[in-house]
Structure 1
Amino acid sequence: MRWLCIFLFLFLFTTLSAQAATVEDYVQQYKNLPCSGITTAMGDIRMKLKMVSSNKKKLDYYNRLFALSKLRKSKRCFGQAYT
């Protein structure tokens, strides 16, 4: 019984930590987008964020938005309006 509990704990810990993406992961994922693509992605994520009820998913979308805003600042995409 003890080994089963240890196995379940390790299994859950490794799968949950492997799925969680950080802001830096999203920066690497979106780094090749042009300014118009960043603007579009930010609008899409904001729309999805309104429809999500799960706190885990909301945190994921906030991390994506933060990564896109970092890229937007680094690429100096301030001339374009975003929704």
Structure 2
Amino acid sequence: MIKARVTVTLKNGVLDPQGKAIEGALGSLGFDGVGHVRQGKVFDIELESADKAKAETDLKAMCEKLLANTVIENYSISLD
């Protein structure tokens, strides 16, 4: 069993209205000095494969086909 974490974030230059809303809300809650918040997604995935190379290949395909919109998002994969 392989455990993986996929992190998806917006590419630099892509507007992030949720990040801006979070940034504003944190300021309203009294957290001063918080600037430039970017929002993203995290996926924790367990794969039955024991082959790390195949798992990484499969995870990249999952990202390209479903988990990330690669036009506006970047993704990173980490394996345990």
Confirm or deny a common fold (TM above 0.5): no
Higher helix content, 1 or 2: 1
Asked which structure has the greater RCO (Cα within 8 Å, sep 6+), the reply is 2
Bigger radius of gyration, 1 or 2?
A: 1
- For normalisation by structure 1, the TM-score amounts to 0.28
TM superposition score normalised by structure 2: 0.28
Of Structure 1 and Structure 2, which has the larger fraction of its residues in strand? 2
